[in-house]
Amino acid sequence: MLDLRSILEAVARGEVDVNEAVSMIRLHALKQIEEYVRFDLGRALRRDVPEIILGEGKSVDLLMKLVRSVTPEMGEVIVSRLTDQQISALKDLARSSEYEVVINEVGRIAAVRVKGFKERPKLPCTVGIVTGGSADVRVAEEARFIAEEMGCRTVAVYDVGVAGFHRVLAAIRKLKESDVDVIVAVAGMEGALPSVIASLVDVPVIGVPTSIGYGAGGGGQAALLSMLQACPLGLAVVNIDSGVNAGVVAALIARRVGVVRQKLRAKR
């Protein structure tokens, strides 16, 4: 099936009439895989966000069927929340002549591309990624992977929790020196790190509570409520362990900054 750009180019060349194009676009917008999966193929084009398949809860067979069915249509898909068995299956896929697979095993996330797929252009934008503890790194690496796949540079500083406040100050210094456009702050336990960072920087901060924690407010509940109740303005919060969402939001912010920066440079 042709992608949307190819359909429009065919109309411009006079090879396809408008009615044919409408039918092709409607077919392109939705792909049904078996009885219970309906894939929205137009989402990436509408939102400038890569298509992301949630691996969690899917059998290896179903996941690989989805990947093999959708990747040729999209050019690229991202697969998140991978199990060891799913990672092993993607490594097998990488040995084929059709696909290129990039896996971040720490973040349990991967990108699958058809060979020769042209990646989205890099923009002059930077996303900072910070974690409270080393136990938060898996979620942070999800966010980092997504931001980089969306064309942003990333600067990561891990294990800088408020239990050692001097580490926070050192992280802030590095982020300021790197001139980041937005910061993703990932923390479990009491979730204080995003609030502290938001009080010290002049860019948006996205707080990500993680399920690291125990006792009262365990499972990320205390961290989530702490971030939602934070005093500093300019802090937004995503759901518990939602590194993917944080990465998407951060990249969308940073990419807009990058577009404006690019336009300003072109005028000089």
Q: Give the model's confidence band at 1: pLDDT under 50 very low, under 70 low, under 90 confident, else very high.
A: very low
**Residue 200 confidence (pLDDT) above 70:** yes
Q: Give the model's confidence band at 12: pLDDT under 50 very low, under 70 low, under 90 confident, else very high.
A: confident
Q: Give the model's confidence band at 9: pLDDT under 50 very low, under 70 low, under 90 confident, else very high.
A: confident
Amino acid at site 103: I
pLDDT for 34 equals: 53
- Sign of the Cα torsion 105, 107, 112, 117 reads negative
> Is the model more confident about 4 or about 219?
219
Contact between residue 49 and residue 252 where contact means Cβ atoms under 8 Å apart: yes
Q: Give the model's confidence band at 29: pLDDT under 50 very low, under 70 low, under 90 confident, else very high.
A: low
- If you average pLDDT over residues 180-194, what whole number do you get? 94
- If you average pLDDT over residues 16-23, what whole number do you get? 77
Indicate the range of 133-142, 158-167, 202-211 predicted with least confidence. Answer: 158-167
pLDDT for 25 equals: 64
How far from chain centre, in Å, is Cα 175?
20
| Prediction pTM value | 0.84
Q: How far apart are the first and last CA of the chain?
A: 42
Q: Are strands 126-131 and 182-187 parallel, antiparallel or unpaired?
A: parallel
pLDDT for 148 equals: 96
- Sign of the Cα torsion 250, 252, 255, 261 reads negative
Backbone angle region of 123, left / alpha / beta, with phi > 0 → left and psi within -120 to 50 → alpha: beta
Task: Please report, rounded to a whole number, the percentage of residues in the chain having pLDDT higher than 90.
Answer: 59
pLDDT for 202 equals: 94
pLDDT tens digits for range 79-122: 999 999 999 999 999 998 889 999 999 999 999 999 888 777 88
Nearest CA-CA partner of 165 in 183, 184, 139, 192:
192
Contact between residue 107 and residue 141 where contact means Cβ atoms under 8 Å apart: yes
Which residues touch 241 (CB under 8 Å, ≥6 apart)?
A: 139, 208, 209, 210, 211, 220
Domain 126-260 grouped into CATH 3.40.50.10240? no
Q: Give the model's confidence band at 131: pLDDT under 50 very low, under 70 low, under 90 confident, else very high.
A: very high
Domain boundaries, the chain: 36-114, 126-260
pLDDT for 152 equals: 95
Contact between residue 163 and residue 193 where contact means Cβ atoms under 8 Å apart: no
pLDDT for 26 equals: 58
Give me 3's structure tokens.
């992608």
Q: Which helix (H) or strand (E) holds 99?
A: strand 99-104
pLDDT tens digits for range 239-258: 999 999 999 999 999 999 99
Which residues touch 55 (CB under 8 Å, ≥6 apart)?
A: 63, 79, 80, 81, 82, 83, 86, 108
Q: Are strands 109-114 and 76-80 parallel, antiparallel or unpaired?
A: antiparallel
